[in-house]
Every structure is written in C-alpha cells, then in structure tokens.
C-alpha cells in the first residue's frame, strides 16, 4: 500500500538583531528562520515542496521574507536535513535499480535461451506464436507449444500443437504437464533451420525455451 503525506518544520537560524516590528509597533529582537514543507512516501522518502526564509519578530513571529539564494549562499549549505531533501531521490534510485535489474535478468534469460536454441535437443518445448510459424494452423494470433521431434544437422523438426491460446497463461499451464504428451500434438512436423529459430527468437515470435 502506498502511504504518503506531507509535513512541515521551522528551523531557527540565529539572531538577526533588533529592528522595529510594524506588527508589534515596537523595537523587537528578530530571528532568522526557515519555514519549509515536505512530502513523503512511506515516511522514508522525502522531498521539499516549499521553503521560505524569514526575518521574524521574536514575539509575534512576523517579518519580511528573505531572498533564499542570498541566504543559502551565506550559509554554504541548506539547513534542511539531507534526508528531507534527497530521500525522494533514493526512491527514484531504487526504482531505477529495479528496472535495470529486470533488464539484466531478461538479458541473461535471453542468453540462456540462445544457448538452448544453438544446441536443440529432442523434447525441447518452444513457446511460440504458432500462427507465425504455421500460418494455416490457427486463424488468429495464437500462443502455443511446439516440441522438437527430430534434429538433422541444421534442421529442426517441430510438432504442431492441437491447442492454442490467446493468452500466455494457458501455455504456461500446459508446459508443466500436457505439452509433454504425444496426444498434445497434431500428426506431422514442420522443419525450421537453426538460423530461422534464432530469427524467430530475436523477433520475439519464439518467446521461451523449456528443456
């Protein structure tokens, strides 16, 4: 569940000397303060949404807003704690890492599949768009399992399934059971070269190899 919210804080930045306060109509001690708001996700990931520096009367709290750039230049760094300012970037970083991790995992899996396609074995199960490999087998976009029946040099003979699906989910269920049975396939085979298999894999028409 996404828990998010916002908060605010006032930081005291030291004395600003005595000056006339128009609200109190008296000479008052003034303080430099920084007022800021922040947003958070899961309380951990924070970022600043608004900030303003004031020279504020010690008694009534009012006073003129100051130029933020000038004050920060004088302070050398922002007085707002780093986790409030940059926590959100940590979240963005984690999301980026997760995406990169996913891409790397998918590349690794592609490399494994390429190795399996380079050296096919009888019984290998290919998850494919059947209609792209056997155009007359099904009359629409169909996922299915094709099984390696025979290998002759660079030519692989594949069995065509009797059943196809419009969703990959159906195929994945069959890979665990039915697709290992002879009755799952129609009689006869189609022949494809190793190069053609790799082309189909590159084009993502051959989606997965199961051995």
| CA pair distance 136, 118, nearest whole angstrom | 27
Beta-carbon count within 10 A of 58 CB: 15
8 Å CB contact between 12 and 75: no
x/- map, 108-137, Zn ion, by CB under 5 A: ------------------------------
8 Å CB contact between 159 and 186: yes
* 21 versus 33: smaller Cβ distance to Zn ion: 21
| Least distance (Å) between residue 54 CB and Zn ion | 12
Q: In whole angstroms, how far apart are CA 136 and each of 132, 147, 162?
A: 9, 18, 13
| Least distance (Å) between residue 11 CB and Zn ion | 19
| Least distance (Å) between residue 50 CB and Zn ion | 23
Using the rule CB under 5 A, is 24 a contact of Zn ion? Answer: yes
| Least distance (Å) between residue 9 CB and Zn ion | 21
The residue at minimum Cβ distance from Zn ion is 57
Residue 93 token pair: 């970083």
Please identify which residue in 21, 125, 133, 179 interacts with Zn ion, judged by CB under 5 A.
Answer: 21
| CA pair distance 168, 143, nearest whole angstrom | 6
| Least distance (Å) between residue 61 CB and Zn ion | 7
Beta-carbon count within 10 A of 206 CB: 23
The Cβ-side half-sphere exposure at 31, using a 13 Å CA radius, reads 12
Using the rule CB under 5 A, is 171 a contact of Zn ion? Answer: no
For Zn ion (CB under 5 A), the number of binding residues is: 7
| Least distance (Å) between residue 22 CB and Zn ion | 8
Q: If you ran DSSP here, which 8-state letter would residue 10 be given?
A: E
| CA pair distance 157, 30, nearest whole angstrom | 87
**Stretch binding Zn ion (CB under 5 A), from 15-23, 40-48, 113-121, 174-182:** 15-23
Using the rule CB under 5 A, is 60 a contact of Zn ion? Answer: yes
Would you state the torsion angle of the CA atoms of residues 174, 178, 179, 181, taken in this order, to the nearest 10 degrees? 180
Please identify which residue in 18, 23, 92, 111 interacts with Zn ion, judged by CB under 5 A.
Answer: 23
Contacts to Zn ion by CB under 5 A: 21, 23-24, 28, 57, 59-60
């Amino acid at each position: 569940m996404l828990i998010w919210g916002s908060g605010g804080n006032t930081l005291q930045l030291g004395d600003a000397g005595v000056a006339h306060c128009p609200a109190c109509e008296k000479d008052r001690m003034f303080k430099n303060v920084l007022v800021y708001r922040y947003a958070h996700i899961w309380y951990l990931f924070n970022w600043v949404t608004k900030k303003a520096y004031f020279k504020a009367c010690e008694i009534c709290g009012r006073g003129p807003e100051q130029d933020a750039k000038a004050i920060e230049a004088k302070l050398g760094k922002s007085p707002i704690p780093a986790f409030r300012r940059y926590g959100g970037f940590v979240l963005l970083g984690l999301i980026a890492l997760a995406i990169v991790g996913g891409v790397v995992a998918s590349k690794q899996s592609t490399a494994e599949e390429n190795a399996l396609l380079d050296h096919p074995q009888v019984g290998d199960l290919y998850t494919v768009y059947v209609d792209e490999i056997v155009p007359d087998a099904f009359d629409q976009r169909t996922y299915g399992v094709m099984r390696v029946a025979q290998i002759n040099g660079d030519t692989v003979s594949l069995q065509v399934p009797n059943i196809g699906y419009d969703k990959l989910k159906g195929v994945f269920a069959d890979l665990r059971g039915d697709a290992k049975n002879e009755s799952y396939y129609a009689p006869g085979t189609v022949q494809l070269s190793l190069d053609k298999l790799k082309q189909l894999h590159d084009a993502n028409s051959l989606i997965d190899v199961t051995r």
